[in-house]
Amino acid sequence: MSENNKGISRRDFVIKGTVATAGLAAASVFVPATFAIGAQAKVKVGILLPYTGTYAKLGTNIRNAMMLRFSEAGNKLGGRAIEFVDIDSEAKPAKAQQLTEKLIKKEHVDFLVGPVHSVVGMAMVKMARGDGPITVIPNAGANQLTGVLCAPNVFRTSFSSYQMGFPGGSAMLEDGHKRVVLMYWNYGFGKQVAAAFKKSFLPGGGTIVEEIPTPFPKVDFQAYLTKLAALKPDAVYTFYAGGGAVKYVKDFAAAGLKKSIKLYGAGFLTEGLGAAQGNAAEGVRTILHYADSLDNPANIHFRSAFKAATGVQADVYAVQGYDAGELILRGMNAVQGDTGARAEMIRAMETSVIDSPRGKLSFSASHNPIHDIYLREVIKGENRVIRVAAKEQDDPATGCTMT
Amino acid sequence: MELSFYLVQLLNAIQYGFLLFLVASGLTLLFGIMGIINLAHGSFYMLGSYLAYWLTGVTGSLWLGILLGLPIALAVGYLVERFAISFLFKLDHLYQVLLTFALILVFNELQQILWGTDVHSVPIPAILSGSFQLTENQSYPVYRLFISAACIALAGAMYWVIQKTRLGMTIRAGASNREMVQALGINVNRLFAFVFSMGVGLAAFAGMLAAPIDSVYPGMGDNVLIISFVVVVIGGTGSIKGAFVGAMLIGLVSTFGKVLLPEMASVVVYALMAIILLWRPQGLFGKVA
């Protein structure tokens, strides 16, 4: 530093100083009165997503889509530059608390984005709710996150497990399937999906022949499929994701069950897995708040922009990340970057109506998404929309005190 | 449920047992005979699956994929032994655990760099893609039977090599008294490098054969690692026969556990292990240390 100073003439110094002062003065015109931190402070966005393990692709797509949304907005949030603190959650519940603590207490992030895994989400939200950073959940679907654990500073842009089950029950009844077996990974999310499914399916006149929970995250389905075959239901409703979903769909087809039992599931069963499942997935029906083929302008723009930015095709996880970015933008733009104006920012976020690639996205009183749920069928390797299974599907937010 | 239901489940159980043996055989070779606790075994299984996915994509045939993939896996095993494992023979087991755990992390990262984070699958070769009808609405893929056959052949070959050949004799001798075998003029270092790369090759081979009926995804190796250790521990370390019986037992208990005690499905296998270890701490076919 001192060496540089020697080189600068007095005249230079005066000119530069004047320019700098003028710049500051000019900047201050745009700075609102509530702006307390100073024009140069960056907004800190903490990201806790899995980049390794089974959920690696989900985490990567969510992050890349959110970054895409920010870069479309000039990499500024309410006029302030962004600093990212990006941590690999590894989708390990055991590490969740420590990593969240690092983001909140050590890094002092203004926003917290994550995670994918529901159990990681529980640990994260327990720490962040209340005084913590504004938190946006771009995937984890446990009902509790916007139920008993709901808080003014916690938002979700993905779904609740309720929204992955309830519309499934009515959709299957509408398709004429009355005798149904439920099969799902036996952990929190799977159980919640099954419970929500029954809430619409049983009152509608359907019969659950049997529930077959299978150990999570095991993928040996053979014994269960033999049982399923022996039960001879009309159809089966499932929750499996990722590698498990590929294996399930392939095993189901290989066991010759497609001829006599119709396969349904929460959208993850076939989402983004077309190449790996191939022919085995043809005819499988799923419900989800998104489909690649939605032809609204927002989706067409998003899919081409995401492909151009990352080289890979967008999927529902990318959409959720993109909308998380949008939601943060809405909040920060509403307060011109003043993170101190917390109540105002939260109000702007919760009243947002987003023109999302999935269609219209708004938020419930508990900050869970309200969106259309589509019934899709795999036709020629693509998840095509058959019909809207539930218009503006809400979530009951059981246990939430904000509603 | 009628009898045919249980017969089909029995078939499932045996098939699962074969698959488990295929995965655990390499582990029992390393753990039982060389005394190496190889936590990276699952990573080598994953490596096999990804090699099969990659090379099948390039060549258009699973057989060519396996043919080209196996030498790669063997070479990886040889290099890992030469540059890492060989330094640890004289040290405590703890160092092996640390090293091979590190290898898991390295291989997971490499997998991500080389093949990305997508879920993939490998098509079943056309010649084995058929299936036959088991019950009125369930059929059984021929490829699963092929895996069982391959597994029986492999078990027989391993037993023969280890018990009946000169090579097997030196391996067994080297395991029980390394210095003595060395004094008799056998290059134990080279021998162990060979055995280690065979162990890696077996794990990778299992990953390759299983790829068409499994899905190929990041972290897939972690799922097979623990159950492989259970098989080896139940069977008794160092016993190929034990690993075979152990795998079959696990196959049966796990399958019928799922059918008869569904709410206990994930526990029965470990309960079985606990009972067997209480009764015979050295495992079914293990020698008392």
DSSP state of A267: G
- Whether chain A has a CB inside 8 Å of the CB on B96: the answer is no
Q: How far apart are CA B78 and CA B44, in angstroms?
A: 12
Of A391, A386, A349, residue with least CA distance to A137:
A349
Mutate to test the interface with A, among B5, B11, B56, B217 (most CBs of A within 10 A): B217
Question: Which fold is adopted by the domain A162-288?
Answer: Rossmann fold (3.40.50)
Give the per-residue pLDDT at A34: 47
Sign of torsion over alpha carbons B176, B177, B182, B188? positive
Helices (H), A177-221: 188-201
What are the DSSP calls for A271-309, one per residue? TT-HHHHGGGGTT-EEEES--TT--SHHHHHHHHHHHHH
Q: Bigger pLDDT: A293 or A33?
A: A293
A52-102 tens-digit pLDDT: 877 888 999 999 999 999 999 999 999 999 999 999 998 888 999 999 999
Q: What confidence category does residue A29 fall into, taking pLDDT thresholds of 50, 70 and 90?
A: very low
Q: How far is A380 from chain B (nearest CA, A)?
A: 17
- Ranges of beta strands (E only) in A126-257 are 134-137, 154-156, 179-185, 207-214, 235-239
pLDDT of A35 strictly over 80: no
Q: CA nearest A57 in B: which residue?
A: B117
- How far is Cα of residue B157 from the mean position of the Cα atoms in its chain? 15
pLDDT average, residue stretch A143-166: 97
Q: CA nearest A246 in B: which residue?
A: B215
Please indicate whether, in this complex, the C-beta atoms of A251 and B255 are within 8 angstroms of each other. no
Question: Which chain A residues are closer than 8 Å to B126 by Cβ?
Answer: none
User: How far are the Cα atoms of A164, A265, A282, A329, B257 from residue A197, in angstroms, in the given order?
Assistant: 8, 10, 23, 34, 27
Residues of chain A with CATH 3.40.50.2300: 43-159+294-363, 162-288
Q: How far apart are CA B56 and CA B67, in angstroms?
A: 10
Please indicate whether, in this complex, the C-beta atoms of B138 and A225 are within 8 angstroms of each other. yes
Give the mean pLDDT of chain B: 90
Q: How far apart are CA B204 and CA B212, in angstroms?
A: 14
User: How far are the Cα atoms of A87, A117, B41, B57, B155 from residue A124, in angstroms, in the given order?
Assistant: 13, 10, 33, 41, 48
CB neighbours of A353 closer than 8 A, spacing ≥ 6? A360, A361, A362
* Pairs from A19-23 (Cβ < 8 Å, separation ≥ 24): none
Question: Which chain A residues are closer than 8 Å to B147 by Cβ?
Answer: none
Strand partners, A285: A264, A377
User: How far are the Cα atoms of A241, B44, B75, B171 from residue B58, in angstroms, in the given order?
Assistant: 27, 21, 20, 37
Q: How far apart are CA A69 and CA A326, in angstroms?
A: 7
- Whether chain A has a CB inside 8 Å of the CB on B6: the answer is no
DSSP state of B214: S
Name the helix (H) or strand (E) containing A369: strand A369-379
Q: Is A357 exposed, middle or buried (0-12, 13-18, 19+ CB in 10 A)?
A: buried
Q: What confidence category does residue B218 fall into, taking pLDDT thresholds of 50, 70 and 90?
A: confident
Give the per-residue pLDDT at A53: 75
This prediction has a pTM of 0.86
Q: What confidence category does residue A218 fall into, taking pLDDT thresholds of 50, 70 and 90?
A: confident
Backbone angles phi, psi at B236, to 5 degrees: 100, 130
Can you read off the two tokens belonging to residue A260? 């006599």
Give the per-residue pLDDT at A101: 95
Give the mean pLDDT of chain A: 90
- Whether chain A has a CB inside 8 Å of the CB on B35: the answer is no
Of B131, B111, B108, B94, residue with least CA distance to B53:
B111
* Segment 101-140 of chain B within 8 Å of chain A by CB: 108-109, 112, 116-121, 123, 131, 133, 135, 137-140
Interface ipTM > 0.85: yes
Q: How far apart are CA A302 and CA A309, in angstroms?
A: 10
- Whether chain B has a CB inside 8 Å of the CB on A194: the answer is no
Q: How far apart are CA B88 and CA B35, in angstroms?
A: 11
Please indicate whether, in this complex, the C-beta atoms of A229 and B135 are within 8 angstroms of each other. yes
CATH class entry, domain A43-159+294-363: alpha beta
Please indicate whether, in this complex, the C-beta atoms of A53 and B119 are within 8 angstroms of each other. no
Q: How far apart are CA A201 and CA A209, in angstroms?
A: 12
Choose the weakest-confidence range: A174-183, A217-226, B201-210.
A217-226
Name the helix (H) or strand (E) containing A112: strand A111-113
Asked whether A102 and A87 are in contact (CB, 8 A), the reply is yes
User: How far are the Cα atoms of A165, A206, A317, B204 from residue A390, in angstroms, in the given order?
Assistant: 11, 18, 20, 46
Give the per-residue pLDDT at A14: 44
* Pairs from A270-273 (Cβ < 8 Å, separation ≥ 24): A270/A245, A270/A376, A270/A378, A270/A383, A271/A315, A271/A316, A271/A383, A272/A57, A272/A313, A272/A315, A272/A316, A272/A317, A273/A242, A273/A245, A273/A246, A273/A249, A273/B119
Q: How far apart are CA B220 and CA B217, in angstroms?
A: 6
Strand partners, A83: A44
B243-260 tens-digit pLDDT: 999 999 999 999 999 988
Choose the weakest-confidence range: A140-149, A332-341, B34-43.
B34-43
Q: Bigger pLDDT: A24 or B81?
A: B81
Name the helix (H) or strand (E) containing B17: helix B3-28
Q: Bigger pLDDT: A291 or A2?
A: A291
Give the per-residue pLDDT at B1: 63
Question: Which chain B residues are closer than 8 Å to A56 by Cβ?
Answer: 112, 117, 218-219
Q: How far apart are CA A86 and CA A113, in angstroms?
A: 9
Q: How far apart are CA A365 and CA B97, in angstroms?
A: 50
Choose the weakest-confidence range: A3-7, A37-41, A70-74, A292-296.
A3-7
Residue where the block lists tokens 């998840």 = A383
Asked whether A218 and B266 are in contact (CB, 8 A), the reply is yes
Q: What confidence category does residue A31 fall into, taking pLDDT thresholds of 50, 70 and 90?
A: very low
Mutate to test the interface with B, among A222, A260, A262 (most CBs of B within 10 A): A222
pLDDT average, residue stretch A140-163: 96
Can you read off the two tokens belonging to residue A212? 């077959």
Q: How far apart are CA B134 and CA B140, in angstroms?
A: 6
Strand A43-49 relative to strand A80-88: parallel, antiparallel, unpaired? parallel
